[in-house]
């Protein structure tokens, strides 16, 4: 490996993958702060102390299931019921990790095990867009995961300490993650088939969410849409005639 001249430690070079990761992570962090604070406030009201809140954020690191767990704890639910609910709520990550695995061939077991810890809706969306661009690897992806993770842990603990003093929804910060999902969805639509999958998933997920309580609509909607579009034979070209699709087999 070549070393930077005048930089005896090579630190600059070693940290060169840090910046893209941090740059990609900031919208996630922006969105996690208000949610984390809100979670901390609720958890504290449910009787958890800062250490217990931090421990849950470190071990679980999955926002919606943490909210649900706290409300179940408060209602006096049993341990197994809480664990089982968490499993169901977080099962959707199977789909995300499967989709990421297309890009992680040839990686070591340890780095994959570490990366898996940080797979969330948000980090998945950001890393997938980057992997697709081609200039991404597990190291910057890990920076995204762990930056978001750190911000999440600290925000939830800060909420437990005194988050009720921070005004909710200041400057539309509670919309940061929605806006991030909008741009990431736009970037995922690279052909007519992707567009159809997105439209179908949006409609079917919405309909399912109206009939079935909980968040199973995420899995049901996306599996249904991807399966239907996969079953349709490919004879179209990409959006507006661009032939940006891989040839069939």
Partner 1 sequence: MLDGKYLFIVVGMGLVTYLPRWLPLALLSNRRLPGVAEAWLDLIPAAILSALLVPVLITGGQPVRLDLMRIEFWAAIPTFVVAVVTRSMGVTVVLGMLLFWSLKQFV
Residues in 93-122 at the binding interface with partner 1, rule: CB under 8 A = 93-102, 104-107, 109, 112-113, 115-117, 119, 121
Output the smallest distance, CB 107 to partner 1, in A: 6
Distance, CA of 180 to CA of 178 (rounded, Å):
5
The residue among 11 and 60 lying less far from partner 1, judged by its C-beta, is 60
DSSP secondary-structure letter at 134? S
- With tokens 């809100």, the residue in question is 38
Structure tokens at 10: 């090579």
> 188-207: which residues touch partner 1 (CB under 8 A)?
188-189, 193-195, 197-206
Candidate list 44, 65, 147, 156; residue touching partner 1; CB under 8 A: 65
> 10-29: which residues touch partner 1 (CB under 8 A)?
24, 27
**Does the footprint of partner 1 cover residue 232 (CB under 8 A)?**
no
Distance, CA of 78 to CA of 72 (rounded, Å):
8
The answer to whether the beta carbons of residues 222 and 203 sit under 8 Å apart is no
The residue among 18 and 60 lying less far from partner 1, judged by its C-beta, is 60
Candidate list 43, 128, 153, 158; residue touching partner 1; CB under 8 A: 128
Distance, CA of 240 to CA of 245 (rounded, Å):
12
The residue among 161 and 189 lying less far from partner 1, judged by its C-beta, is 189
Output the smallest distance, CB 182 to partner 1, in A: 5
Candidate list 56, 143, 157, 158; residue touching partner 1; CB under 8 A: 56
Of residues 181, 89, 183, 103, the one with CA closest to residue 140: 103
HEC profile of 21-89: HHHHHHHHHHHHHHHHHHHHHHHHHCCCCHHHHHHHHHHCCCHHHHHHHHHHHHCCCCHHHHHHHHHHH
Size of the site for partner 1 (CB under 8 A): 98
Of residues 146, 93, 90, the one with CA closest to residue 115: 146
Output the smallest distance, CB 162 to partner 1, in A: 19
Output the smallest distance, CB 181 to partner 1, in A: 5
Output the smallest distance, CB 247 to partner 1, in A: 11
**Does the footprint of partner 1 cover residue 52 (CB under 8 A)?**
yes
The number of beta carbons lying within 10 Å of the beta carbon of residue 140 is 23
The answer to whether the beta carbons of residues 154 and 38 sit under 8 Å apart is no
The residue among 13 and 101 lying less far from partner 1, judged by its C-beta, is 101
> 130-189: which residues touch partner 1 (CB under 8 A)?
169, 171-176, 178-189
């Amino acid at each position: 490996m070549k070393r930077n001249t005048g930089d005896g430690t090579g630190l600059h070079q070693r940290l060169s993958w840090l910046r893209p990761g941090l740059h990609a992570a900031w919208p996630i962090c922006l969105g996690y702060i208000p949610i984390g604070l809100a979670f901390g406030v609720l958890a504290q009201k449910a009787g958890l102390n800062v250490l217990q809140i931090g421990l849950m954020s470190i071990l679980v690191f999955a926002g919606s299931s943490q909210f649900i767990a706290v409300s179940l704890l408060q209602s006096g639910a049993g341990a197994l019921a809480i664990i089982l609910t968490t499993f169901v709520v977080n099962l959707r990550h199977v789909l995300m990790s499967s989709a990421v695995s297309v890009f992680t061939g040839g990686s070591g077991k340890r780095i994959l095990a570490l990366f898996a810890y940080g797979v969330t809706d948000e980090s998945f969306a950001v890393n997938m867009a980057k992997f697709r661009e081609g200039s991404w690897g597990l190291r910057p992806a890990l920076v995204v995961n762990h930056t978001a993770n750190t911000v999440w842990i600290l925000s939830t603990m800060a909420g437990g300490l005194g988050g009720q003093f921070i005004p909710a929804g200041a400057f539309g910060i509670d919309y940061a993650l929605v806006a991030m999902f909008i741009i990431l969805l736009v970037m995922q639509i690279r052909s007519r088939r992707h567009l159809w999958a997105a439209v179908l998933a949006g409609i079917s997920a919405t309909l399912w969410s109206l009939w079935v309580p909980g968040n199973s609509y995420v899995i049901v909607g996306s599996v249904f849409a991807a399966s239907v579009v996969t079953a349709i034979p490919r004879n179209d070209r990409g959006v507006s005639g661009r032939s940006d699709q891989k040839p069939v087999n």
